[in-house]
Amino acid sequence: MERTFVMVKPDGVQRGLVGEIVSRFERRALKVTGMKMMWIPRELAERHYEEHRDKPFFEPLLSYITSGPVVCMVLEGENAVSVIRTMMGKTNPQDAMPGTIRADFAQATGRNLVHGSDSPESARREIKLFFNDYELHEYQKPEEDWLFES
């Protein structure tokens, strides 16, 4: 099983889309192993997005992501990183496929509702940035026997 870090960004919280977005992951039987609301401090936002430090959109990105509370999650499933990236859709919602979160609910790159790690390495880094061990939970769900061939 693979774990990935997902965040409903401030626009998703403000627009009341937390339930809709979490519901899509739950319906797909991805397992929520951590979840919390937080208002990201600027220093954490800078570390999270450090790969973009030299990009022209870095400052607007930081002010967007720190503009209100977000909901952070760790989700687990087979190939969870790429499965969730596909469910989110392209970075620019105007290029995202219908049926993806970004295409269905968003219109602008700078207000694209969700974050999801782009590789297993990024996932490990981001999970560590946002969660303590005691906030992550291993548990069994009764439907697990019906999700995968053994």
What is the set of active-site residues?
115
Does residue 110 bind ligand DAT (CB under 6 A)? yes
Question: How far from the centroid of its chain's Cα atoms is residue 12's Cα?
Answer: 11
> In the chain, what's the furthest Cα-to-Cα distance?
48
Q: In Å, what is the CA distance from 48 to each residue of 3, 16, 18, 84, 140?
A: 17, 24, 21, 18, 30
Span of 21-29, 37-45, 76-84, 105-113 interacting with ligand DAT by CB under 6 A: 105-113
Stretch that binds ligand DAT, among 22-30, 70-78, 111-119, 125-133 (CB under 6 A): 111-119
Q: How many binding residues for Mg ion (CB under 5 A)?
A: 1
Nearer to Mg ion, 118 or 135 (CB): 118
Work out whether 57 is an interface residue with ligand DAT (CB under 6 A): yes
48 binding ligand DAT? (CB under 6 A) = no
Q: Report the nearest approach of ligand DAT to the CB of residue 114 (Å).
A: 8
Describe the chain by its helix, strand, coil percentages, rounded to 5: 45, 20, 35
Distance CA 50, CA 57 (A): 12
- Which of 89, 75, 79, 90 has the alpha carbon at shortest distance from 131? 75
In whole angstroms, the minimum distance from the beta carbon of 125 to Mg ion comes to: 12
118, 124, 135, 136: residue in contact with ligand DAT (rule CB under 6 A): 118
CA distance 116 to 9: 11
Binding site for Mg ion (CB under 5 A): 118
Binding site for ligand DAT (CB under 6 A): 52, 57, 61, 91, 109-110, 112, 115, 118
